[in-house]
Amino acid sequence: MTIENTIVEHVKNAVQSLYQTEVAADSIVIQETRKEFEGQVTVVIFPFTRLSKTSPEQTGTRIGEYLMQHVAEVTGFNVIKGFLNLSVSDQHWVDQLLGNVLNESYGQFPSNGQKVMVEYSSPNTNKPLHLGHVRNNLLGYSVSEILSANGYDVIKVNLVNDRGIHICKSMLAWQLFGNGETPESSGLKGDHLVGKYYVIFDKEYKKQIEELVSSGQTEEEAKKNAPVIKQAQEMLLKWEAGDQEVLKLWQMMNGWVYAGFDITYKRLGVDFAKYYYESDTYLLGKDTIQEGLDMGVFFRKDDGSVWIDLTEDGLDQKLVLRADGTSVYITQDLGTAQLKYDDYKMDKSIYVVGNEQDYHFKVLFLILQKLGKSWAEGLYHLSYGMVDLPSGKMKSREGTVVDADELMDDMIRTAKERTEELGKVDGFSESEKANLYDMIGLGALKFFLLKVEPKKRLLFDPNESIDFQGHTGPFIQYTHARIRSVLAKAGYSTKLTSNYQEGLTVLERELIVTLAKYPDVIDAAAREYSPAMIANYIYELSKLYNKFYHEESILKAEDPDVRNFRLDLSLASSSVISKGMKLLGIRVPERM
Partner RNA sequence: GCAUCUGUAGCUUAAUUGGAUAGAGCACCUGACUACGGAUCAGGAGGUUAGGGGUUCGACUCCCUUCAGAUGCACCA
Looking at residues 108 to 167 of the shown chain, list those that interact with RNA (rule: CB under 7 A).
161, 164-165
Please give the residues from 377 up to 416 whose contact with RNA meets the rule CB under 7 A: 385-386, 393, 415
All residues at 6 or more sequence positions from 204 whose CB lies less than 8 Å from its CB, including other chains: 173, 176, 177, 228
**DSSP E strand stretches across 360-430:** 379-384, 387-388
Rounded distance between C-alpha atoms, residue 401 and residue 421, angstroms:
30
Please give the residues from 347 up to 366 whose contact with RNA meets the rule CB under 7 A: 355-360
Examine residue 36 and tell whether it contacts RNA (CB under 7 A).
yes
Residue from 207, 459, 494, 495 binding RNA (CB under 7 A): 459
Residues in contact with RNA, shown as a per-residue x/- string from 301 to 320 under the rule CB under 7 A: x-x-x--------x-x--x-
Examine residue 285 and tell whether it contacts RNA (CB under 7 A).
no
Candidates 69-77, 197-205, 364-372, 448-456; binding stretch for RNA (CB under 7 A): 448-456
Residue from 2, 9, 23, 47 binding RNA (CB under 7 A): 47
Q: Which amino acid is at 455?
A: K
CB 387 within 8 A of CB 421: no
Residue from 64, 474, 531, 580 binding RNA (CB under 7 A): 474
Size of the site for RNA (CB under 7 A): 92
DSSP-assigned states of every residue in 201-247: HHHHHHHHHHHHHHTT--HHHHHHH-HHHHHHHHHHHHHHTT-HHHH
- Using the minimum distance from each CB to RNA, give the nearer residue, 188 or 236: 236
Examine residue 506 and tell whether it contacts RNA (CB under 7 A).
no
Please give the residues from 527 up to 556 whose contact with RNA meets the rule CB under 7 A: 528, 532-533, 536, 539, 543, 546-547, 549-556
Residue from 237, 323, 434, 506 binding RNA (CB under 7 A): 323
CB 107 within 8 A of CB 579: yes
Q: H helices within 423-517, ranges in order?
A: 430-450, 473-489, 506-516
| Burial class of residue 291 (count of CB atoms within 10 Å of its CB; 0-12, 13-18, 19+) | middle
- Using the minimum distance from each CB to RNA, give the nearer residue, 188 or 448: 448
**CB 508 to RNA: min, Å:** 12
Examine residue 58 and tell whether it contacts RNA (CB under 7 A).
no
Residue from 324, 342, 426, 558 binding RNA (CB under 7 A): 324
Examine residue 29 and tell whether it contacts RNA (CB under 7 A).
yes
All residues at 6 or more sequence positions from 323 whose CB lies less than 8 Å from its CB, including other chains: 301, 303, 304, 305
User: How many other β-carbons are positioned within 10 Å of the β-carbon of residue 140?
Assistant: 27
Residue from 322, 348, 433, 509 binding RNA (CB under 7 A): 322
Angle, helix 473-489 to helix 560-583, in steps of 10 degrees: 150
Nearest CA to 561 out of 519, 520, 502, 516 is that of 502
- Using the minimum distance from each CB to RNA, give the nearer residue, 188 or 387: 387
Examine residue 591 and tell whether it contacts RNA (CB under 7 A).
yes
Residues in contact with RNA, shown as a per-residue x/- string from 509 to 528 under the rule CB under 7 A: ---------------x---x
